[in-house]
Structure 1
Amino acid sequence: MKSLKILIIAFGIVSTAFAQGKYTVTGTRFLLPLFEQFNEPLQEEGFDKLFEATSRNPKADITATATPKVLPAAKEGYKQIALAKIVYLPVVNTKHPDIKTLLEKGIRVDELKSIFFKDKGDAGFKPNSNFNVLTRSACAAVSFSSFLKEDIKTLVNDYDKIENDSLLIDLVTKDTLAITFLDPSNIYDINTGKIKYGITVLPIDLNNNGTIDSDENFYSDRKVLIERLKKDKIELPSGLLTVTISEKENAYFSKYVNWVKEKGDPIIENFGFLPLN
């Protein structure tokens, strides 16, 4: 019996140590895999806590959210920290009837308003192509709307409630008239860096000359996209990856933030986001 008690106590100590060796992360689902990709290099450098992604966990240590560039006010006792920049790109079905013209002419950033927001026919652009607009009123949509200075309540969605990004992508691949906006982590295959099957990025006409010039066509590969956005500081609809953590824990967590800023760029870029520095 005494041996059994010792074993139980020892197991409890080990279990507690394991529980203390992680930061649970919850929040916007498409962000969570990035934190797990930080784990291996963090472990190699001797960090004692690794990240564990959890779904809809109100007791998580960290909440990761896609936010606009101007952060909303944090709750009392909590601190918000931006870790990366997220761009949002218009995406269409590869078999859209006007795909050839769409890829040749592209679209201006301000023209996105006429497609994605209600009652914007006076924005100076009426699409020549027909679109079925598929969107989700989630965190990414808040950032997209904020960048374009539009109210998310006027965001168009020609489909019933779409639960997650995987379903959204699936719907776009099945509807030849579909258009949506997505971040690169959802657009590009994580292993190949190429655009996922059935969807195509609608290129942005950066100089507003009505055609996509060779230097505006950089969307076929994730690495090329990120390098071009970094090099020329191109402004596309975007927001931030922001974490919220208690102020009590922030002093310790700050060394993780410093590591992300100093050494996390390759992981962030491979995921499809942009470093802040």
Structure 2
Amino acid sequence: MKTKQILSLVALSIVLFFQVSCSSNTDKKNESNKNELSGSISISGAFALYPMVVKWAEEFQKINPNVRIDVSAGGAGKGIADVLQNMVDIAMVSREIKVEEIQKGAWFIAVTKDAVVPVINASNPVFSEIQKKGITKTQLASLFTENKKITWGKIYSANNKSNINVYNRSDACGAGEMWAKFFNIKQEDLLGTGVFGDPGIADAVKNDINGIGYNNVIYAYDLKSRVLYPGLAIIPIDLNENGVLEPDENFYQNLDSITNAIRTNRYPSPPARELFLVTKGKTTNPIVLAFYNWILTDGQKYINEGGYVKLTDENIKSQIEKLK
């Protein structure tokens, strides 16, 4: 009798144990599901930031499989217009946020840094002289702001009489604004044949032996090889305007050398600048907040390989503080 009672008690204990255990596991699973991110966010804007944000989105979605992030490029102007009209959740902006945009509700964080560089065709007829002398800011300003024909021979005291063909961005973009700011003017004051987007400028210059334009760094250098795309070259800036390209001005050999020059402020700012993510009003969207926090922490490890420049530790801390 006692044996039967003992066995009954043991059996009851086992049943109760499994009930409690299953209940506990279910509670934990339910709690986990509550904390799991789920939903979607949309992002549009600057070509400059597009490749980096795509990479961040891919990696963030790997650890948050129930989150979908849609990213599209169309220029900083389109991105800021989209976000202020509630057409997207986040805008990618590659220039300073304007006062009037802030007044309309633009709220932003800096996430990385890059620069705009002048590009030419790799088969330029005076390429050897360009590599020796570079080009001064004054000469660049003349090309992009004066409505007159200028030959390569005139700039480099050569016999070449080919006119320089200038290409300019046709879209409202951060690259155009920063390139113009380098000359203390506005984007609408830049001259040249209008071409849409970074890829468009690069293609136009690669197809024109006498062409000159400007690109965000990431569209001039190949990420895998870290060298310039075939057919494209950087025209080095003679920063001290002494007519000679000195060693400390010549940092365009590969992607790592130019990003290091940006990081150490040897490349001028502008056209170097911070890149921003913008929402309309301070965001309370849990997916956006989680994405922002991840970008400013774990996501930073992808910046160097992505061809961008990390913000200083102090700046990153201040951006994280803005999210609180």
Match of 1:22 among 31, 37, 40: 40
1:149 correspondence with 2:184: yes
Residues 243-276 of structure 1: CA distance to partner in whole angstroms, max 9, x if unpaired?
A: 2213253474345334333344442333333223
Q: Which 5+ residue runs of structure 1 have no aligned equivalent?
A: 1-17
Query: How many equivalent residue pairs?
Result: 254
Residue in 2 aligned with 1:8? none
Distance 1:233 1:166 in 2: 26
* Aligned position for 1:100: 128
Comparing 98-107 and 263-272, the one that deviates more: 263-272
State how far apart, in whole Å, the 2-side matches of 1:81 and 1:114 are.
35
Matches within 5 A, 1:82-231: 82-118=110-146, 127-128=155-156, 130-137=163-170, 138-139=172-173, 140-157=175-192, 159=193, 161-231=194-264
TM-score (norm 2): 0.68
- How far the C-alpha of 1:166 sits from its partner, in A, is 2.0
Is the Cα–Cα contact under 8 Å of residues 144 and 239 in structure 1 kept in the other structure?
A: no
- Aligned-pair CA distance for 1:168: 2.0
Pairwise CA distance, 1:188:
0.7
Q: Mark the CA change 1:264 to 1:120 in structure 2 (over 3 Å): closer, same or farther.
A: farther
Letter aligned with residue 191 of structure 2: V
Asked if the contact 1:83–1:243 (Cα under 8 Å) also holds between the matched residues in 2, the reply is yes
- The aligned amino acid for 2:88 is A
Taking only the aligned residue pairs, the percentage that are identical comes to: 25
Picking from 32, 38, 45, the partner of 2:50 is 32
Name the aligned partner's letter for residue 141 of structure 1.
G
* Amino acid of the structure 1 residue aligned with 2:139: E
- Summarize deviations over 1:34-67 as a string: whole Å, max 9, x none: 2121135435665974532136684221111221
Pairing 1:67–2:95 present:
yes
Q: What is the CA-CA distance between 1:174 and the residue it aligns to? A: 1.4
Q: What one-letter code is carried by the residue in structure 1 that aligns with 2:56?
A: F
Question: Structure 2 CA distance, aligned partners of 1:210 and 1:143?
Answer: 24
Aligned equivalents of 1:47, 1:262: Cα separation in 2: 19
Q: Secondary structure at the match of 1:156?
A: coil
- 1:12-34: CA deviations, max 9, x gaps? xxxxxx99433211112443232
Q: Please state whether the residue corresponding to 1:96 is helix, strand or coil.
A: coil
What is the CA–CA distance in structure 2 between the aligned matches of 1:235 and 1:107, rounded to whole Å? 14
TM-score by length of 1: 0.78
1:275 aligned partner, one-letter code: K
Match of 1:245 among 257, 266, 279: 279
The answer for the alignment partner of 1:14 in structure 2 is none
Q: Which has the higher relative contact order, 1 or 2, with Cα contacts under 8 A spaced 6 or more apart?
A: 1
Q: Distance in 2 between matches of 1:115 and 1:197?
A: 24
* Contact 1:115 1:127 (8 Å CA) reproduced: no
